[in-house]
Structure 1
Amino acid sequence: MDNNTTAWLTVPAPAKLNLMLHITGRREDGYHELQTIFQFLDYGDQLSFQIRTDDTLTLTPEISGLNFEDNLIIKAARSLQSHANARGKNCGANIRLEKTLPMGGGLGGGSSDAATTMLALNVLWQLELSLEELAKIGVKLGADVPVFIKGQACWAEGIGEKIIPLPDLAENWFLVACPNVHSDTKEIFSHKELTRDSQILNMRHALEGQAANNSRNDCQLVASKLNPEIGKTLNLLNKFGSAKMTGTGACVFLSVASENKATQVANKLPAELTTFIAKGTNLSSAHKVLFGSV
């Protein structure tokens, strides 16, 4: 792509769900060992990029209360700029964000925004870094960032960096409810009552449990204790099936048979509870836009 172009490239930054999340131990460095199944949703934020002929980065709109350089989108762009500069390239970009996903929701919005930024600028700046190289850079921004960079539903272990693709997961419909609370990941992982000794599962058994709708999220009890609204939302959705929290919350999801069924359930929930309906997808929508569906 010509570096003088003023065309905008718009790329989705999809949400993710943790279909299950077990914490199996705590390392000496304080990080937790976990096992989880990630799947993307056809719903999320949207980022647009316009390359510049100088090395300036802009981001609109500004996020109130967040320093420009502390924004994960800018951190992601800076991390690629350093690679471009090392090759003698002078790269900048104007970036626009359409924010849909709630912060502190467990849907991976910040990590997805960072990953989409890296994927898009790698293409626009013609850096030709592989997904593996991008993932190694991205993990420094957050443990979930490599999952979004690689763009496939997956089984993840370690602190989330050991990834095995799961291209054949059922792509179900989900009703996602977002309580109006911010769930603090650090607070949950440092809580004395957090389960840290779940039995280590092999992937096959975890997938069998997921298929039978017999799986859990080890962060759920502590998150509900810290934020009772999460527990209330789980109880509401449990009337219609087996609801679970994603990540460290606060969002809660219910797998449903169809989009129509999701709409029926949503219509029975309190009007003040924010919800959305989305389909699970095993290939990130960012990858579909940038690289096609294969």
Structure 2
Amino acid sequence: MPGLRAGARLLRLCLVLALGVAMATLIAAGERLGLRASVERRQRWTRQFMQRLVRALPFNVRVQGELPQRPMLWVCNHVSWTDIPLLGMLTPLSFLSKAEVRHWPLAGWLAEKAGTLFIRRGGGDGQRLREQISGQLREQRPLLIFPEGTTTDGRTLRTFHGRLLAGAIDQGTPVQPVAIQYWRAGQPDPLAPFIGEDDLLSHLMRLFAQDRGEVVIQLLAPLHSAGKERAALAFQAQQAIHLALFGFEEVELRRVGKAA
């Protein structure tokens, strides 16, 4: 029965979240005692938490490509809040998130303790953000951003914001493009996208009441950033992900349409 299945899955999720709270509480207690955990340690703990969280989600996950062997700026299309644990389970990462997440009950606190960087959309703090991203990369800490700046339904790809890649150019850090897709019964998953005015609890109930979906994560060829203009680098990353998501023919059709 869908209701019982959803309830059982939610219970498992709550147990995983309780573990996350315990880990974040340990970090907070250490801070009060002057024992601040390093970003590297937070990243490792966050990855362990994300791995357990993904096992509680109703997805079968398939990863294609090779994990980078050096710190990079990861860029990915953005479909759902589940993108974060699905990508965070792969390797120790920090994340760039919208400022509103900091104020989400529990999730915001967990994100902050995990070392997430927060951005105010339209807040006029572009230079500060560039410095934050550049600082993370300078310290050889891999960072993941969603350069579209918002979620989509998984059937489209929005323009990538070049200003978010400026820090990689400053440090000469390679960019790791990642394409994430959600599938259900051979079609793009209509349940996974977290868009519009959807609320988290309603989204969870819809997701957990159905059979398991499939997630495909494609780790694409890294892009060199040194000496590039940020808009050109953003476009190159966007095109690589677009090609992985929708194939060569659609990319060519869009180019022809623009030329016309």
The answer, yes or no, to whether TM exceeds 0.5 is: no
Q: Name whichever structure is richer in helix by fraction.
A: 2
TM-score, normalization by structure 2: 0.28
TM-score, normalization by structure 1: 0.26
